[in-house]
Copies of this chain bind each other. A is one copy, B any other.
Amino acid sequence: MNRDFLYNEIAGRMAHQIRNGVFKAGDRLPSVRALCQEHGISMNTAKRVFVELEAQSLIDSRPQSGYYVSSLPYYRLPLPGVSKPSPIAKDREPEELISKVYANMGNDKLTLLSIGAPSGSLLPWPRLEREVAQAARGLKDGGTGYAPLQGSAQLRKMVAIRSLTWGGRLVDDDLITTNGGMDALSLALMALTKPGDTIAIESPCYPGILQLALSQGLKVLELPTHPTTGIEIEALKKAIPKIKVCLLIPNFNTPLGSCMPDEHKREVVSLLAAHNIPLIEDDVYGDLYYGTRRPKCCKSFDTEGDVIWCGSISKTLAPGYRVGWIAPGRYKAQVLKLKLVHAITSPSVTQEAVGNFLQTGRYEQHLRLLRRTLQDNCQHYMRTIAAHFPEGTKTSRPQGGLALWVELGKQADTTILYELALKKQISIAPGRMFTLQDQYQNCMRLCTGLPWTVELESKLKQLGRMAKLL
């Protein structure tokens, strides 16, 4: 029997047992070895069963002890299926909807469940504020002069050092700073494609990436994506002949929160490299893992410089600073040139401030707190959804990041829910925004980066009541 089928089959059966109380919260599961013997499968296959269950947040691993049924209260909410986008590249951009939703950005009167950024109250801004003032004082001429084209040496050094946390071995000179993460993706796409080329992405996908690709005249091929393990590798294989570049958010992708297992990352990198297709890796959520360790990046499996790794502090420290970076691998010269052409350079003050902050060690401290908060938030959201949303509502199982993907019944239309909710000062991101195809109309993304309060809980309940009306 096919190995893929086998582990899915076994994992599915165990998931069913957990959801139905055969195994209860806190129960210890059979060991890997026991599973091998019971099913007559290899160690590798048995391990993949546990990885899959862990990815679905159904179980937790405890070092030196084994796997236990997760004590999270929401595991009875079913998981959406693997997405099924059309295998034809499409370009029906829901432009009006996206503009409408993003126009709410910065509107203090709304409960902004629509914007994928952490709330200011979760950010260490008093300290950053001081870093900015100090950076302005510390830089030559107050930082009024052009920064070097490649960007702040201090920031690049710190990002290079931190690459060890995800299996990277970057050095300062591998990195170029950018005006936030989107600018990094934009430079990468410009360096690697020309109008008319096709790029492959996850589906559902962050609307900014869809719009960026279209604005550069690219065709977009949306790939079937598993809500916890990311793109389906078989689908990517089939797409290979059609695509020029692949752009993925392997770690805690928005809107799904999926995280590609290391094994998948390795496979994708070698598959693409074998066909000379560069991979643009958007890693802005990588530091926001709920689990015990930071996931690896595809870049860590890259030997030839074919993976262009992009990051920023927009999801962890300061969306408003617009500080990001790119490790463009073998495309460094092109990216540097495009940076010069499009922006001359990046602002020095904010880059320097962030570089200095990263050095203080407070970043780690802040991240620990933020990750805990985001994970707690996510559980609060799921508990509230389980109790107050319509029967049959499905949710993703984010393993990190800021987003929860909610799938209502087939008949529900979340663009209508958007309008209803807006009247109650709630802004959501309807599923239709996350694709160029006619789908996800019954889905929505909720940002979990807001502090959990009585008011937020009541807004979520209200949203659930409105969803029942659809």
Contacts and interface: CB of A to CB of B under 8 A. Distances in A.
Given A106-B146, A146-B106, A350-B349, A344 B125 contact: no
A8 interface: no
Interface string A174-194: 000001101100100010001
A145 B106 contact: yes
Contacts of A117: 145-146
Contacts of A350: 347, 349-350
A358 interface: no
Given A146-B105, A183-B343, A129 B121 contact: no
A129 B134 CA distance: 9
B106 A148 contact: yes
Contacts of A179: 179, 322, 343, 347
B347 A347 contact: yes
B149 A102 contact: yes
Nearest to A337: B99
B141 A123 contact: yes
A343 B211 contact: no
Q: How many copies does the complex hold?
A: 2
A359 B350 CA distance: 22
A147 B106 contact: yes
Nearest to A103: B149
Contacts of A99: 336-337, 340
A26 interface: no
A146 to B, nearest CB: 5
Contacts of A257: none
A141 B180 CA distance: 18
Contacts of A144: 120, 123, 125, 128, 317-321
Interface in A329-346: 336-338, 340-346
Give me the 10 closest cross-chain CB pairs, A-B, nearest first.
A120-B141, A133-B133, A125-B142, A144-B318, A129-B142, A129-B136, A211-B341, A132-B136, A125-B144, A106-B148
Interface of A: 95, 99, 102-103, 105-106, 115, 117, 119-121, 123, 125-126, 128-129, 132-133, 136-137, 139-149, 179-180, 182-183, 186, 190, 194-195, 208, 211-212, 215, 217, 314, 317-322, 336-338, 340-350
13 contacts: A99-B336, A103-B149, A117-B146, A123-B144, A143-B320, A180-B344, A211-B340, A212-B341, A215-B342, A319-B344, A320-B347, A322-B343, A349-B349
